[in-house]
Chain A
């Protein structure tokens, strides 16, 4: 059973609007959550992370929100740009296991 789930395989958003990517997890022992972005023919690249003791982390146009009671996190991109079009992976880090568990990814398409 998947411990990290991204239930939306794809999302389309108009340029300039907000993109909201969602992720759910089942293991309450995860210490950090990370978002990676992947372009075709490239490996995933780290985007932003959040500690399990925080509920928000912001970096420029990217903000990650964590709702521990709901075991849910989201990545907000505002304003969205065509260059943001990529697959976004949610990942959870367990300090005890020292490894990342990934979701299946969401393909974001930002329309000009």
Chain B
């Protein structure tokens, strides 16, 4: 059981380049989330999805887009990367999304924008 898998693990982008981060879960979870983690700050929610075909904005959605075409996959896109998007990105999923169960996290993607 792989849990939550994120690819890639590391990436360096030049300002203005685009990329997509992939999150895949094999636990049949309905709810999926993208967070970013910056030094001295908690995990901040970028976007989330409560089911296949649905997405919603979190606390810090600007500069990112997401898609959930299949239940098991949640993609995070950066259309035009900026240095402020240098961060560690974590994907998470949970089965009911009600908070009664903990999140399962991926191992993170370290992104540097130069």
Note whether A and B form a binding pair.
Answer: no
Contacts from B to A (Cβ < 8 Å): none
